[in-house]
């Protein structure tokens, strides 16, 4: 037997089937670790079941890595160290964890809803096994293709100079990841518009089966509708940490996943790391601060799915097929626009690769037919993995075809696209930065097209990204801004167009020097935007703390009606709205309900059929006291408190941000009269007095309230001039 230069006999490389068997054996051992940890934590230590499931999953992930690294993939260590492989394996396991934990959570909730069981009890192991089975296929494919993809590199390592060249942009990328995740943890409450509702409604679904109060006001909305992913992520976290911390963990996960997913569609090596820096201006865009978390996670998953599919060039083994099918299912559970975006991006890039290959095949018709057949099979296999999701998307759109708005005027859409308005959220200072982002992309695209034109018309495989960007721009102008009950479609499509353009520049369209310049310019803009937003986030968070302070007075399990007369927050020193494009205080009272239980009657997500809980027809506050959502969420709200008894008992009315200006409107004046006639003020927030809490007069002893009992701002309006 020959020996290697180091004097050791080369170890035998296991074949694909043998490696799969080894991986399965390790997985079986992980099942034992998982179930043993679950039993010890849940039955022995009394840890809540969902929290115990999460900890058991992490224990099995670490155990599986150690065994796979020394037994299954010992020949594929490559140039990276064990720590790097562990991080990669955790990244691969993250999707599997979502599937596994989501399965356990769904079964636990189903047991509560359908069987009336407060806990799974002896069935918890079966529920855990179901999640393990669904996650296995994805874990194997990701382990082979990503976590231990170092076999070829181990045999032919890149030159040390190339490794050092990639280390610099990779370090910058890592630093930017940390910088973008940090602001979320520097404030008590992340100022988003719909974010608090996600937390409130997840808790409502978790406690619905055991709470008579929630059963009286809500109907559990089980079904195959999209927008489930955020709830699946929040459900286990809310059993371990506080509601604001659970929100921050979900937002941090997205903040890390989007850049990493964008990196997955780019070339390996230094070029890909430089190009990946271009993603950061788009991380904390308008959907992030609007609280569109399902779409945000869907955006990240869309590029992860496209990268997974395109790196295989459409060649899907059974394991890859299963992995792609799992990703497509997660995409549908996230958001319809993200699902469609992933399909368009993957099809455009692979389709253009097929066209380029046909052209390179030359005049031979036989060679062209072979190329077309090969790519046809790849596209068909990819379409098959997306087929269930496509069918569900079409069914949802058809069922909600009446819930669409007229298209925005073309000049308005063009101006928003040119200004990068999809990147603007909580501060006017973001406007010039968004324009700069669009300008950098525009100059980069025009320059590269002119250079390409001078060399003659050539079609490159990665030009599919530019084709995808063009498709998204067409859809941006063609699709209404509200489709199938989903709003702000134009902002979502604009983000896809921008990111596909950046991917085209980085994936091979530009020389490395040009890629580095464009990416560094965009990264620098993102850092400036972080500073602009952080100052506003701190101020808005301080105001949110004042709003939430009323929770100590309101108490537990109350029915409250929050009325946000200043949903953007108070005017700043220049008389401008603090929240700019978003209304961070529109659903701020959801934090009170999340902390102390109860029901808040301004829960707009429950007014739809695409969220975990919904209002019953005979107890829908949006219809009974406001007639529609526009009146309930208007500035000021137009509500009829005289109709409130039809909803049952309202323990408190919370009035936020009353000013002379909005109380002099017809709706504001009516609110003043009805509050003074039927309610009594019992709490005024400190230090700014922005929140007033009112209680029904029948619940208090003493005199009939007068309009002058309202808070300072309202009192000045109600008193004679």
HSE value, Cβ hemisphere, 13 Å, CA-based, for 608: 17
Question: Which of 304-342 are b and which e, b meaning 16 or more Cβ less than 10 Å from the residue's Cβ?
Answer: bbbbbbbbbebebeebbbbbbbbbbbbbbbbbbbbbbbb
Torsion angles phi and psi, residue 689, rounded to 5: 65, 35
- CA 88 – CA 86 distance, rounded (Å): 5
Q: What share of the chain is helix, strand, coil (3-state, %, to 5)?
A: 70, 5, 25
pLDDT score at 154:
45
Short-list 479, 423, 405, CA closest to 629: 405
Contact 203, 188 (CB under 8 A): no
pLDDT score at 161:
56
- CA 552 – CA 563 distance, rounded (Å): 18
Q: pLDDT exceeding 70 applies to what percent of the chain? A: 87
Is residue 352 very low, low, confident or very high in pLDDT (cuts 50, 70, 90)? Answer: confident
Residue 162 has pLDDT above 60, yes or no: no
- 48 φψ region: left (φ > 0), alpha (ψ -120 to 50), beta (else): beta
Model confidence, pTM: 0.78
pLDDT score at 406:
66
Better pLDDT: 165 or 398 = 398
Residue 655: strand pairing partners: 563, 692
Residue 544 has pLDDT above 80, yes or no: yes
Min mean pLDDT across 172-181, 305-314, 603-612, 630-639 is at 305-314
Mean pLDDT of 52-57: 79
Residue 5 has pLDDT above 50, yes or no: no
Residue 265 has pLDDT above 60, yes or no: yes
pLDDT score at 224:
78
Residue 97 has pLDDT above 90, yes or no: no
Q: What is the DSSP letter of 661?
A: H
All structural domains of the chain with their residue ranges: 12-147, 540-718
pLDDT score at 537:
94
pLDDT score at 509:
66
Is residue 78 very low, low, confident or very high in pLDDT (cuts 50, 70, 90)? Answer: low
pLDDT score at 714:
47
Residue 654: strand pairing partners: 562, 693
pLDDT score at 461:
77
pLDDT score at 709:
46
Residue 321 has pLDDT above 60, yes or no: yes
Work out whether the CA dihedral 47, 49, 548, 578 comes out positive or negative.
positive
Min mean pLDDT across 177-186, 200-209, 322-331, 632-641 is at 322-331
Residue 219 has pLDDT above 60, yes or no: yes
Pairing of strands 558-564, 652-656: parallel
**Average pLDDT in the chain:** 84
Residue 614: strand pairing partners: 219
**Peptide bond between residue 687 and the one before it cis (omega within 30 degrees of 0):** yes
Residue 613: strand pairing partners: 220
Q: 448-459: per-residue pLDDT in tens? A: 888 777 665 677
Better pLDDT: 617 or 43 = 617
């Amino acid at each position: 037997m020959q020996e290697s230069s180091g004097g050791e006999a080369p170890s035998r490389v296991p074949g694909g089937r043998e490696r799969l068997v080894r991986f399965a054996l390790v997985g079986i051992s992980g099942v034992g670790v998982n179930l043993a940890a679950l039993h010890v934590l849940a039955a022995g230590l009394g840890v809540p079941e969902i929290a115990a499931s999460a900890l058991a999953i992490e224990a099995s992930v670490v155990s599986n890595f150690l065994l796979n690294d020394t037994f299954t993939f010992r020949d594929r260590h490559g140039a990276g160290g064990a720590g790097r492989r562990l991080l990669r394996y955790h990244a691969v396991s993250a999707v599997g964890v979502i599937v596994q934990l989501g399965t356990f959570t769904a079964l636990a909730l189903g047991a509560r809803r359908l069987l009336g069981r407060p806990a799974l009890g002896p069935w918890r192991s079966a529920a855990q096994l179901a999640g393990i089975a669904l996650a296995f296929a994805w874990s194997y494919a990701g382990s082979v293709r990503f976590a231990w993809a170092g076999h070829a590199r181990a045999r032919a390592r890149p030159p040390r100079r190339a490794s050092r060249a990639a280390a610099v942009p990779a370090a910058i990328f890592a630093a930017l990841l940390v910088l973008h995740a940090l602001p979320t943890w520097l404030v008590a409450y992340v100022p988003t518009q719909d974010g608090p509702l996600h937390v409130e409604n997840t808790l409502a679904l978790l406690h619905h089966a055991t709470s008579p109060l929630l059963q009286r006001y809500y109907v559990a909305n089980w079904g195959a509708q999209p927008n489930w992913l955020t709830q699946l992520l929040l459900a286990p976290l809310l059993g371990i940490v506080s509601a604001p911390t659970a929100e921050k963990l979900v937002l941090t996960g997205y903040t890390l996943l989007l850049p990493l997913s964008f990196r997955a569609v780019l070339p390996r090596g230094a070029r890909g790391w430089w190009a990946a820096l271009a993603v950061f201006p788009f991380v904390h865009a308008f959907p992030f601060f609007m609280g569109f978390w399902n779409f945000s996670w869907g955006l990240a998953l869309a590029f992860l799915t496209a990268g997974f599919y395109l790196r295989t060039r459409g060649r899907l083994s059974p394991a890859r097929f299963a992995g792609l099918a799992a990703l497509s299912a997660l995409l549908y559970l996230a958001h319809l626009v993200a699902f469609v975006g992933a399909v368009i991006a993957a099809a455009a890039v692979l389709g253009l690769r097929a066209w380029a290959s046909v052209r390179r095949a030359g005049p031979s018709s036989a060679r062209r037919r072979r190329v077309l057949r090969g790519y046809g099979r790849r596209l068909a296999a990819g379409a098959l993995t997306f087929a269930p999701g496509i069918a569900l998307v079409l069914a949802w759109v058809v069922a909600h075809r009446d819930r669409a708005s007229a298209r925005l005027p073309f000049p308005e859409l063009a101006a928003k696209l040119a200004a990068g308005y999809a990147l603007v959220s909580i501060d006017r200072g973001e406007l010039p930065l968004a324009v700069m982002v669009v300008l950098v992309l525009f100059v980069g695209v025009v320059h590269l097209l002119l250079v390409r034109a001078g060399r003659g018309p050539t079609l490159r495989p990665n030009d599919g990204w530019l084709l995808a960007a063009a498709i998204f721009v067409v859809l941006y102008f063609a699709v209404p801004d509200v489709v199938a009950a989903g709003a702000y479609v134009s902002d979502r499509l604009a983000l896809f167009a921008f990111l596909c353009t950046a991917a085209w520049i980085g994936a091979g369209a530009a020389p490395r020097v040009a890629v580095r310049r464009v990416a560094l310019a965009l990264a620098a803009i993102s850092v400036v935007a972080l500073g602009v937003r952080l100052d506003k986030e701190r101020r808005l968070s301080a105001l949110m703390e004042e709003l939430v302070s009323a929770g100590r007075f309101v108490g537990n399990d109350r029915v409250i009606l929050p009325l946000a007369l200043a949903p953007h927050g108070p005017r700043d020193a220049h008389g401008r709205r603090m929240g700019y494009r978003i209304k961070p205080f529109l659903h701020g009272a959801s934090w009170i309900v999340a902390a102390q239980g109860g029901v808040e009657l301004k829960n707009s997500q429950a007014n739809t059929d695409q969220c975990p809980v919904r209002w019953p027809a005979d107890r829908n506050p949006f219809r009974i006291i406001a007639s529609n959502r526009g009146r309930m969420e208007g500035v000021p709200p137009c509500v009829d408190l005289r109709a409130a008894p039809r909803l049952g008992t309202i323990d408190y009315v919370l009035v936020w941000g009353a000013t002379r200006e909005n109380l002099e409107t017809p709706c504001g004046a009516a609110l003043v009269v009805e509050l003074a006639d039927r309610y009594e003020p019992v709490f005024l927030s400190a230090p700014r007095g922005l929140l007033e809490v009112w209680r029904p007069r029948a619940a208090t002893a003493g005199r009939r309230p007068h309009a002058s009992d309202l808070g300072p701002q309202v009192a000045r309006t109600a008193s004679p001039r």
